[in-house]
Structure 1
Amino acid sequence: MTGRGDGTVGKALGVLDQVAGFGRPVRFSELLEASDLPKATLYRLLQTLTNQEMLIYEPDRGVYSPGIRLVRLAHAAWAQSSLAPIARPHLEALSREVGETVHLAQLDGGHVLYVDKRNAAEPVEMYSQSGKVGPAYCTGVGKAMLAHLPEPDLARVLPQQSFHRFTGATLADEDALRSELAEIRRHGYGFDREEHEPGIICVAVPILTPRGRLLGALSVTGTTARTRLAALEGYVPRIKAAAKAISEEAQHWRFPDRPVEAKGR
């Protein structure tokens, strides 16, 4: 999707999303093939974004990539509107203590945005990286956050879940997800049981304000080759302590109370 019904600005932001989504320099022909915009409109928006340094165009290779101005804006957003700067020392301490990978995530509409990550002593290749957007319905951090959304917000984001079966353990529909979210609310933590990637498991807890407003989620992630869910579950008290410390420090920052809306992904 390249636009959200928000006129030229919405279309331009959609193009930025599209370029970034390739994860590499991308040719105009590739963008056009994936876009619902007319060729002339797409070209005009790319020219404008390039002129504004939001994109870089390399004429010798004929490719577009994110520009330096976008990098500056992203850095400012990371510093001012994400939990990452506050959470970083707590993530580092938690990762050192448990010896596994630790993730920090926030909701991006109905999806998971990984805002920071600390690798295990023995890193493992996996999907999650800082800045990546992933599914909420089949990740530990995603389910931990969905479970603590107010019902009106949850009702808006559940239709955005694709329920694509990544593995045999992936939750297949809204009813199955709602049932698990109720369990997460009861226990205060949830799991990823190889639901997004084979061999990858985690336990996750939400980061909540004292009044219960959702800020994000923390997880400890391992592999089935070297650990089990029961072992990860033993880290829950430590993860909850880190989440509480992050929440307490976040009270002194001004985080946007961003409404959970469809993002047209």
Structure 2
Amino acid sequence: MDASFKPVPAVSKCLAILRLLDTEVGQGMSLSAIAARLSLTKSHCLMILRTLLAEGWLTYDAERQRYGLAPSLLLDLAATIRRHDRGSVVQDILARLAEDIGLPCLLSRVNADGSFSCLHRVQGGHGLVINVAIGQHYPADAPAQMRARLAALSEEDAEAQLQAMPLRAYTGATTTDKAAIRREIAEARRRGFAVGRMEYLEGIGSIATAIADGGGQPGLVLQCTGPQAAMAPREEELGAAILAAAARIAVAWQLH
């Protein structure tokens, strides 16, 4: 983007309001609360809210005096997504994620045997490059991807698959003790994402989360990778970014 470019303030504020209300689904927010959270004057905030109401993108509960996102906004967004190729939408989400976190990101398909195949990948910023080809295969026991996939299954199914899975030590740091892996899977369920710490490639860490298919089973795995020393202090930050991107990919994937 041109360094001299300056966003239009009204548009930026409008988008900020929509993003804020998206965090309060089912609850809504009052004019005062929205204005305070976004550091807007109440009069200016009210003008934007009324415009969004007129366009059908917001609802207003007069009794509770709260604004919320309207279903028509979601329908408009869904129609937009359908008009675009799913691959380009997903690639754009990955590109934004990689740019935001400065790390390479890839999306893999979960195969019938539990292994993984790369569908999309984007290099991160700061000169960091991963040599992953589209279609590249990862084994079912690739640590971060495997834990993310099993964490998305029921405990019973995950345990049965873990028991039957042969585990290899890809590096000196690879965990092959199944009791320890059970703890990692439980932690992945709690956090929403799994972590591999130099367990597949020397010195490289990975954070991954599964994305459910139409039947509720893990059909995709989204992950970012990078130097473990740089990723370790950012696990929560990176995990949150991965989860947010995964939610957007899930919508795009299921609308096509």
Q: Which residue of 1 aligns with 2:240?
A: 237
In 2, the alpha carbon distance for the partners of 1:84 and 1:176 equals: 37
In 2, the alpha carbon distance for the partners of 1:237 and 1:139 equals: 19
Q: Aligned pair 1:167/2:168, yes or no?
A: no
The DSSP-based 3-state class of the residue aligned with 1:89 is helix
The DSSP-based 3-state class of the residue aligned with 1:234 is helix
Q: Which residue of 1 aligns with 2:15?
A: none
In 1, the alpha carbon distance for the partners of 2:129 and 2:247 equals: 27
Q: Aligned pair 1:196/2:200, yes or no?
A: yes
Q: How does 1:52-63 map to 2 (within 5 A)?
A: none
Q: Which residue of 2 aligns with 1:208?
A: 212
Q: How does 1:1-265 map to 2 (within 5 A)?
A: 84=87, 86-108=89-111, 109-121=113-125, 122-125=127-130, 128-151=132-155, 153-155=157-159, 157-158=161-162, 161-208=165-212, 212-224=216-228, 227-253=230-256
RMSD, aligned α-carbons: 2.6
In 2, the alpha carbon distance for the partners of 1:92 and 1:137 equals: 27
Contact 1:144–1:181 (Cα < 8 Å) also in 2: yes
Report the alpha carbon displacement of residue 241 of structure 1 after superposing the two structures with TM.
Answer: 1.2
Report the alpha carbon displacement of residue 198 of structure 1 after superposing the two structures with TM.
Answer: 0.5
Contact 1:84–1:104 (Cα < 8 Å) also in 2: no
TM-score for the superposition, normalised by structure 1: 0.56
The DSSP-based 3-state class of the residue aligned with 1:235 is helix
2:128 maps to amino acid = P
Say how many residue pairs are matched: 169
The DSSP-based 3-state class of the residue aligned with 2:173 is coil
Choose 1 or 2 for highest CA Rg: 2
2:100 maps to amino acid = E
In 1, the alpha carbon distance for the partners of 2:124 and 2:201 equals: 17
In structure 1, runs of 5+ residues without a counterpart are 1-82, 254-265
Report the alpha carbon displacement of residue 87 of structure 1 after superposing the two structures with TM.
Answer: 1.8
In 2, the alpha carbon distance for the partners of 1:161 and 1:125 equals: 27
In 2, the alpha carbon distance for the partners of 1:238 and 1:231 equals: 11
Report the alpha carbon displacement of residue 150 of structure 1 after superposing the two structures with TM.
Answer: 3.3
The DSSP-based 3-state class of the residue aligned with 1:194 is strand
1:94 maps to amino acid = L
TM-score for the superposition, normalised by structure 2: 0.58
Contact 2:110–2:218 (Cα < 8 Å) also in 1: no
In 1, the alpha carbon distance for the partners of 2:87 and 2:145 equals: 15
In 2, the alpha carbon distance for the partners of 1:193 and 1:124 equals: 18
In 2, the alpha carbon distance for the partners of 1:102 and 1:228 equals: 13
Moved more, 196-205 or 212-221: 212-221
Q: Which residue of 2 aligns with 1:59?
A: none
Contact 2:119–2:134 (Cα < 8 Å) also in 1: yes
Identity of matched residues, %: 28
1:91 maps to amino acid = L
Q: Which residue of 1 aligns with 2:19?
A: none
Contact 2:103–2:124 (Cα < 8 Å) also in 1: yes
